Structure 1
């Protein structure tokens, strides 16, 4: 996908296209990384690129579970800390979390394609401090906008982490990942050595 969303036909197409673009930019931050690099936390916080992608996959799957009112069970182990939600463990691989993210994206696209009315109510879960107690329902539209927001926020985190790891920035990473033709951006190449 190019760096810009192509023209859209309607609201649904636009929401899904912008979500796909944000996913692609988050994925691009991982281009060319080893598992060890994907685990790195080189900034003042505890975030890693692999952990952000893992979280984004789990987050998107969780929101689609909510849209479908499906109880699939916890996305993480009962003893997993909040910090571990954003970490790529030694048992996990970058390729594995990228596959999970792709699967979550496919499911989102399929589910949304099957919902006739984006205004359909999505009940707000109760008893969780980060959800509003005074709102009964969101809409499917709201969920999609929230997924775009969440993915963009974590994409920004990943941009900073990636630049800290090896100096790579988004457009050269996209040029390398998507094999853009010359001369616009020199595709990113792994540093020698």
Structure 2
């Protein structure tokens, strides 16, 4: 898959292509990590790559349920200060949260593709502290833009964490994860264990 989003012909294709691209960028930050590394908080915050990926399907599920006007299947969306939201619990694995993210993305994509009008109203959760009191609804378009924004923000967090863990950056990780033929960048490889 190319490093950048291919050309787009229309608004819907652009929004969904950019959401897919941002998901991919977040997922690739986990490429080659051990369970221990996926749990590492490499800065002063509690954020870890595994925790950021754990948060992503929860966030998408919240918005998909709003679009469908369904009761939340799990807990409501939480803000970034909620304890444990961005950390893997002892019984959670990186593979498990990656699978949950893929499932949530598939569900979101199916719901979005089933709605012909990007202007369709999506009800706003009233009383949430992050919602302006005068806003009663958003459009499906707004929700897609918000998901792109949220995913990109957390992808940026994950980039910094990954670089702090082992120095790996996006292009080499992507080249390694996707086994690019004749890559223009040297694919990431795990560090050789030191002999001593």
Normalised by the shorter chain, which TM-score bucket? over 0.9
In the TM superposition, what whole-angstrom CA distance separates every residue of 1:85-116 from its partner, at most 9, and x where no partner exists? 11111110000000000001101111011001
User: Post-superposition shift, 1:132?
Assistant: 1.4
User: Post-superposition shift, 1:123?
Assistant: 1.0
Task: Please provide the CA RMSD for this pair.
Answer: 1.2
- For 2:46 and 2:85, the matched residues in 1 are separated by 11
Q: Is 2:132 the counterpart of 1:136?
A: no
* Preserved contact between residue 39 and residue 89 of structure 1 (Cα < 8 Å): no
- For 2:82 and 2:71, the matched residues in 1 are separated by 21
* Preserved contact between residue 39 and residue 51 of structure 1 (Cα < 8 Å): yes
Alignment match, 1:190:
190
- For 1:72 and 1:46, the matched residues in 2 are separated by 26
- For 2:67 and 2:101, the matched residues in 1 are separated by 18
- For 1:72 and 1:121, the matched residues in 2 are separated by 18
Alignment match, 2:44:
44
Gaps of 5+ in 1: none
Q: TM-score, normalised by structure 2?
A: 0.93
- For 1:75 and 1:174, the matched residues in 2 are separated by 32
Q: 4+ residue stretches of structure 1 with deviation over 3 A?
A: none
Greater mean deviation of Cα atoms: 163-172 or 81-90: 81-90
- For 1:188 and 1:57, the matched residues in 2 are separated by 26
Structure 1 segment 1-193 matched on structure 2, within 5 A: 1-75=1-75, 82-193=82-193
* Preserved contact between residue 118 and residue 141 of structure 1 (Cα < 8 Å): yes
Report the 3-state secondary structure (helix = DSSP H, G, I; strand = E; otherwise coil) of the residue aligned with 2:7: coil
Gaps of 5+ in 2: none
* Preserved contact between residue 39 and residue 50 of structure 1 (Cα < 8 Å): yes
* Preserved contact between residue 41 and residue 48 of structure 1 (Cα < 8 Å): yes
Report the 3-state secondary structure (helix = DSSP H, G, I; strand = E; otherwise coil) of the residue aligned with 1:3: coil
Q: TM-score, normalised by structure 1?
A: 0.95
